[in-house]
Structure 1
Amino acid sequence: MDVIGRYRLQSKIGAGAFATVWRGYDDDLDIDVAVKVLAENWASRTDVRERFLAEARMMRRIASDRVVRVFDLGQLPDGRPYFVMDHIGGGTLAEIIKRGPLNAADALWWGADLARAVAALHEEGVVHRDITPANLLLRPTRADSTGGGTHRIVLADLGLAKRVAEASGLTQAVGTPSYMAPEQGRESGGFDERADVYAIGAVTYALLTGRPPYVASSITDVLARDPDADPPSLRPWLGDSVGDIDAILARTLAYRVDERWQRADSLAERLEAEAYRVEQETPEPPVTAAAAASGEKEGTTVANRRRNWPVLLMLPVLLILAGVGGWFLSGR
């Protein structure tokens, strides 16, 4: 299959149980696209087909650049539906985590950015229900003032997403176990936006350590967790710089919903404040020969380049003062 509709397929981006996503090209608009196609083995299942189409319609209705945008919908000759989305070219957060733990400041900035993205989804009245590193795309943005690139997290794969009003009455256990809030594994009681808040904490923990706080292979593992136990301490990874990070994530990952952080936007503010604290208390990394040639400090990533902006803003002032000083001295 080389062409779907007017879109030329280039490579497979990923495949799941229900669908395959291809990277394609739209010659008419001269842009890269992502095309999601329902799997053949599910084509005859009306309920699966409707859920697939519901995902496309929901993504289309959400007016936020923090959610992948759908702009076309169609059907293959064999009857399988497909929809076309923006292609987000920066990879996924899962690829970053695979490289190993990030430094604390970078991990917290990414966690805060995720919380901002989730808050935007919640403002649209939608609960994601399956926030995992693999479902978090990185959108490259304009180069920053230091010459380096930056990225923003964009939410993808809304196949399990529901309107908040619907989620409160759901009883089916769904999600990815290692990032799933405990209430999502129960057969009664429903859930709300705080299930996504839990997932923000699990992803942030994985950024800090390279693994989620509770590695679970099934819903049984999720429900078997001790309700009164805090997640494993981050001190072995962060040492004395751990500060309030343990307490923040313990609250975010609380087993009981009422003890958890209640809103994604307020969690974002707290993570941002803690990221700034860590940056101020952490010595600047050494400069290697290779890093000096590229203008980067060793260990610097796109997330922590933002720390340089106060210095950059001061440079024009310092240059003016130096000029005034030189004029004054030459006049004497």
Structure 2
Amino acid sequence: MRKLGRYVLEDRLGAGSFATVWKAYDPELDTDVAVKVLADNWAANADVRERFLAEARLLRRISSPRVVRVHDVGVQDDRPFFVMDYIRGGTLAERIGHCEPAEALRLAAEAGYAIQVLHGTGIVHRDIKPSNLLLDAGRTPPAVLVADLGSAKQLADASGLTVTTGTPAYMAPEQALQAGGFDGRADVYALGVVTFELLTGHKPFGPGGRAAHSAERAPASSAPALPKGLAVPEGVDALLRAALSVRPEDRPQSARAFADALLSRGGGEWAPPGPSRRARLAVWLAAVAVFLVSAALTWLTR
């Protein structure tokens, strides 16, 4: 049995270059928690250590049910760690390939509203991807929370790190090119990739994302279309193409605008489209014809 402070580590939930996240048990409060601990090889790096602790402070400062909350920090064997809510339900990564279109659109919209909370506090996440979007199965319907602010713009600036951060498949062109001056529309691009993946089961540009050397020359309309057989409301394909535009000014201008547009096109309450107007008219005329024939036969047999 391994412990960090009073917390009993149980299962490893995930690991990255800088830290590992564990499911743990807090015996004093008799509850499950998530514990993020800095990797051994980075514990002595002052910049990375400050970035790690700044993430904890930032998460603690943001008070929203759409962002994972930090409850405690500590140090053991010279390795800092912090303690967060344990969100039951896994991540959106586990929903890839298992979503009906309506559910995919609802989850993507939920993610958009969670990301907007960050943007409202002046934070650009910079690493939006399915594994950083948690699904809270304890709410009805399940809600999406945003987690892992280790790459957030404020944190990188505070630590003095200048390397490009993020995951290539979800990285906006201006972020990949280190052009500087990018804003929340970079997260909107990543959210577009996540939405495409939830709907189709694969990433629009593959695991490498848009190649940085070709992104500058790619036209704004170069995003792939959704599969023709996919039953989604009218306008969703155009919305995703806009979100995946090379130029930030061609995308929805906020995560909230993207989420609102998804829902206005039917996410959540949307059901597969019914018959067309012409088809409904044909059905109505057929019903009238049957009624008239039936009435005529009844009159003739009197």
Interval containing the TM-score (normalised by the shorter chain): 0.7 to 0.9
Q: Amino acid of the residue matched to residue 228 of structure 2? A: P
Runs of 4+ in 1 over 6 A off after TM superposition: none
Provide the rounded CA distance (Å) in 2 between the counterparts of 1:165 and 1:7.
29
Would you say 1:215 and 2:212 are equivalent positions? no
Partner residue in 1 for 2:111: 114
The answer for the alignment partner of 2:58 in structure 1 is 58
In the alignment, is residue 93 of structure 1 matched against residue 92 of structure 2? Answer: yes
Summarize the Cα distance change of 1:165–1:24 in structure 2 as closer, same or farther, 3 Å threshold.
Answer: closer
TM-score by length of 1: 0.76
The answer on whether the counterparts of 2:112 and 2:259 sit within 8 Å (CA) in structure 1 is: yes
3-state DSSP class of the match of 2:68?
coil
Distance 1:276 1:134, change over 3 A: closer
Deviation at 1:165, TM superposition (A): 12
What is the aligned partner in structure 1 of residue 128 from structure 2? 131
What SS does the corresponding residue of 2:211 show, helix, strand or coil?
A: helix
Using the size of structure 2 for normalisation, the TM-score is 0.83
Could you report, residue by residue, the CA deviation over 1:177-197 in whole angstroms, capped at 9, with x for unpaired residues?
101111111233321111111
Contact 1:9–1:23 (CA under 8 A) maintained in structure 2: yes
The total of aligned residue pairs comes to: 271
Structure 2 unaligned blocks of 5 or more: 275-302
Percent sequence identity over aligned pairs: 50
- Give the one of 217, 224, 246 matched to 2:237: 246
Residue 34 of structure 2 corresponds to which residue in structure 1? Answer: 34
Q: Is the 1:182–1:223 contact (alpha carbons within 8 Å) kept by the matching residues of 2?
A: no
CA spacing shift, 1:164–1:11, aligned 2, 3 Å: closer
Residues 1:233 and 2:264 are matched in the alignment: no
Q: Answer whether contact 1:3 1:9 (CA < 8 A) is retained.
A: yes
For residues 249-285 of structure 1, what are the alpha-carbon distances to aligned partners after superposition, in whole Å with 9 as ceiling and x for unaligned?
A: 11111100111110111111110011259834446xx
SS at match of 2:113: helix
Q: Tell me the residue number matched to 1:320.
A: none
State the secondary structure of the residue aligned to 2:102.
helix
Q: Counterparts of 1:69 and 1:39 in 2: how far apart (Å)?
A: 21
2:250 and 2:190 map into 1 onto residues whose CA distance is 15
1:208–1:116 Cα change, 3 Å: same
Please say if residues 116 and 254 of structure 2, whose CA atoms lie closer than 8 Å, have aligned partners that are also in contact: yes
CA distance in 2, matches of 1:122, 1:172: 22
Distance 1:85 1:278 in 2: 32
Q: Could you tell me which residue of structure 1 aligns to residue 24 of structure 2?
A: 24
Gaps of 5+ in 1: 145-149, 284-332
C-alpha contact (below 8 Å) 1:208/1:237 kept by paired residues? no
Superposition deviation, residue 214 in structure 1: 1.1
Shift in CA distance, 280/216, structure 1 to aligned 2, threshold 3 Å: closer
Decide whether aligned partners of structure 1 residues 156 and 70 sit closer, same or farther in structure 2, where only a CA change above 3 A counts.
same
By how many angstroms is 1:204 displaced? 0.3
Q: 1:243 to 1:164 in 2, by over 3 A?
A: farther
Q: Distance in 1 between matches of 2:95 and 2:107?
A: 11
Rounded Cα–Cα distance in structure 2 between residues aligned with 1:217 and 1:200:
16
What do the CA deviations read for 1:281-331 (whole angstroms, capped 9, x no partner)? 446xxxxxxxxxxxxxxxxxxxxxxxxxxxxxxxxxxxxxxxxxxxxxxxx
Query: Which residue is equivalent to 2:298?
Result: none
Alignment-derived partner of residue 305 in structure 1: none
Which AA in structure 2 matches 1:65?
P
Say if 1:176 and 1:234 are closer, same or farther in 2 by CA, change over 3 A: same
Shift of 1:155: 0.7
RMSD of aligned Cα (Å)? 2.5
Contact 2:137–2:143 at 8 Å: present in 1 too? yes
